[in-house]
Amino acid sequence: MMAPMLDVVGIGENSVDLVYRLAGPPAANTKIPVLAHSVLTGGQVATTLCTCASLGLRTSYVGSFGSDSHGRVIRDALESRSVDTSHAPARDAPNRYAVILIDSRTGERTILWQRDPALVLRPEDLPVDLIAGARLLHVDTVEEAAAIAAARMARAAGRHVTTDIDTVTPRTAELVALATVPIFAADVPAALTGESDPERALRALRRNHDGLLCVTLGAGGSMLLAGDRLHHVPAFAVETVDTTGAGDVFRGALIYALLRGDDPTSMLRFANAAAAISCTREGAIGGVPTLAEVEALLNDEGITTHRGTEALRVDKDPGS
């Protein structure tokens, strides 16, 4: 009997995050007290897959783990959240890690990162049958050559391809063309088109792409162009604890809503709600919400989370 089809295969970054919460923003030639520090798990694609799994999708991660303790920590984190890692190789190198400096007053962050070249995933390392058999492939730009090769495999099999594009390279246009639903960080459409306005930038991209085009706008919510119709949904109002991983959670929730068959506006509202909840918690994977939590926020019930001993009430933005 054939094994059930996976819902999502993800190719890209995983990370162990060394998080330092500061009394103020980092600045040159200053000394800033560290209020708290922790070791958390994240990475763009790893966090997106954990979100998909938390919402009930069957997921598999394809990316390189290091052979050190950080590699074991992040692999365990994914597996404990029901993300399959059996196709993810281990390399004889330190795992990718990041030092994240968080301004405790605003939740905004500065990220310093290191990734050993030995961790690169090559196109020949890709599990072809796994990619072709999943309902959707999600990729970032960390493993660009592998991402493009995998996207070709998925499209040849008639599957959806979504992206986490936060930088522009000479091959970005190639990856965008292969995606059925490109998802861009806020400044990427402008970098690709020269149009500073997000709507005009998406409409410029439409000239060469007939799929759904989506951009995350941080506190401005998110925007999606479906055909000629633009959908813009504001962000939910929350008391921010940590914005790390919010965009990755957004992508996981958007993937869930896409595979569920939601209309464009509902997709954005669902993904915005998931991202908002993640901002009320520390860490990337640590901020991943459950389906019940997202639905509660969407149904005007709000949610209650905790930061230390302080309870936080997160309510629906009246403008949503």
Task: Please give the average per-residue pLDDT across 164-170, as a whole number.
Answer: 95
Domains of the chain are: 8-314 (3.40.1190.20)
The answer to whether residue 212 scores a pLDDT higher than 70 is yes
> Which pLDDT does position 4 carry in this prediction?
54
> Which pLDDT does position 316 carry in this prediction?
41
The 10s digit of each residue's pLDDT in 4-47 is 589 999 999 999 999 898 998 888 898 999 999 999 999 999 99
What sign results for the dihedral spanned by CA atoms 65, 55, 234, 261? positive
Task: Please give the average per-residue pLDDT across 166-188, as a whole number.
Answer: 97
Q: The tokens of 294 are what?
A: 């997202």
Are 17 and 41 a contacting pair, CB within 8 Å?
Answer: yes
> Which pLDDT does position 244 carry in this prediction?
84
Amino acid at 290: T
pTM: 0.89
The answer to whether residue 151 scores a pLDDT higher than 60 is yes
Task: Please give the average per-residue pLDDT across 154-170, as a whole number.
Answer: 96
The answer to whether residue 306 scores a pLDDT higher than 50 is no
The 10s digit of each residue's pLDDT in 97-144 is 999 898 888 878 788 999 999 999 999 999 999 999 999 999 999 999
Are 215 and 184 a contacting pair, CB within 8 Å?
Answer: yes
The answer to whether residue 313 scores a pLDDT higher than 60 is no
Percent of the chain at pLDDT > 90 equals 80
> Which pLDDT does position 307 carry in this prediction?
32
Task: Please give the average per-residue pLDDT across 285-289, as a whole number.
Answer: 96
Which alpha helices (H) appear in the chain, and where do they start and end?
44-54, 69-80, 128-133, 144-156, 172-178, 188-193, 198-206, 246-260, 264-278, 291-298
Per-residue confidence band for 196, with pLDDT thresholds at 50, 70 and 90: very high
